[in-house]
Amino acid sequence: MTVLNDPLNILLVGDGKEDRELISKRFELYGNMRLWAAESLEEARTILSQSNPDLAIVDYEMPDGKGIDILKAKRRKKYPVVLMTDRDDEDKAVNALKSGAFEYIIKSSDTLHNLPRIAERAFLKWEQVNHRKKSEEKLKRQYEQLQKINKELDHLVYSTAHDLRGPLLSVLGLINISRGESAGPSQLKYLDMMEKCIKKLDEHVVNISNYSKNNRLELKVTEVNPNRMISEVIQNHSFLENFSRIRMDIKIQNTYPLYTDESRLRTILGNLVFNAINYHDYDQKDPFIMIHFIVGKNKYQIDITDNGRGIAPFHLDKIFEMFYRGTEASQGSGLGLYIVKETVNKLKGKIRVRSFLKTGSRFTVVIPNRSTD
């Protein structure tokens, strides 16, 4: 409950002498209110030029104008204005509220008798509204500041990742050159170890870069050729160990043209194909990865199925979390599937997984086809 300690300064503007006397007597009973009375708008303006009320109660009709003219005073301090009308007039009420009145009341013996209580209630309500507005404005400023900080951080992360990739790729190139310069068995062993470490680091950098781009960049929808994209994604992963041992089974049904964000789709496919290759079971006779791509009029669906190691049931509800690794054998950053989920969300799609240990996994992605936008 709010307690009013300082007296409220109330400005009463009304042309009825008897009403003003009745109201003044009612306010005298309240020790926490001070009443200033004016019988014309001109007198009210004089009072307002010398002091600021906490609340004004104004007759809608005055001899020298409309009560709402008080609301139009230049450089007036913000205070609630309660307008009084002689009868229930919807047009006057709407006009009053549009002009900036906080409330309006219908003048009667009951309202005049209870005007101090009405004034107190209106002022407390005004204070609550102002407090809420200030809180909302503060939250808005904080939100805008956080957006600015996030944007700067995204830009920093992207720039750093981009700058790191150049030296890493250069080192990989130097390792390949070193292999051809009469390197002995021990040197080749060390070069292979160096290459694996650098490729692992490069994977982390690429994941960070993809995460940053997904957050920072707006959607860029273009027509995409699913055949070409899948071929390029597979080609980009052909350097992975044991890639040549996997049977790729690709089926594409594109009855309709595909419109989507090509870069983000490439990120989704790239991460899912990488995981299917990297965490496969190569002890079996026929390791395979099936990619089924269906393009419909309103959506497209991608199913990536493998007969690899599978994921334990207690991991399934966590594999899309940041830095979570779904298998004990995982040496990755724990960002891949998190980035897939965030990218799918950005495209307003859905992803689900079904997996059994020592049997394999199926990831299904369904995303709106923007061709109907």
Asked whether the beta carbons of 287 and 307 are under 8 A apart, the reply is yes
Q: What is the pTM of this model?
A: 0.55
Q: Which parts of the chain sit beneath pLDDT 50?
A: 1-4
Chain centroid, CA 158 distance in Å: 20
Amino acid 77: pLDDT: 65
At 28, the amino acid letter reads E
Amino acid 24: pLDDT: 83
Positive/negative CA dihedral, 123, 124, 129, 131: positive
At 34, the amino acid letter reads R
Amino acid 198: pLDDT: 78
Using the structure block, give the residue that is written with the tokens 């393009």: 295
Asked whether the beta carbons of 14 and 84 are under 8 A apart, the reply is yes
Amino acid 1: pLDDT: 41
For the chain, list the domains and their CATH numbers.
8-113 (3.40.50.2300), 135-216 (1.10.287), 218-372 (3.30.565.10)
234-266 residue pLDDT tens: 998 888 888 999 999 999 998 899 999 999 999
Number of neighbours of residue 51 by Cβ within 10 angstroms: 10
Give CA–CA dist 266/244, Å, rounded.
22
Provide CB contacts within 8 A for 205, sequence distance 6+: 161, 164, 165, 168
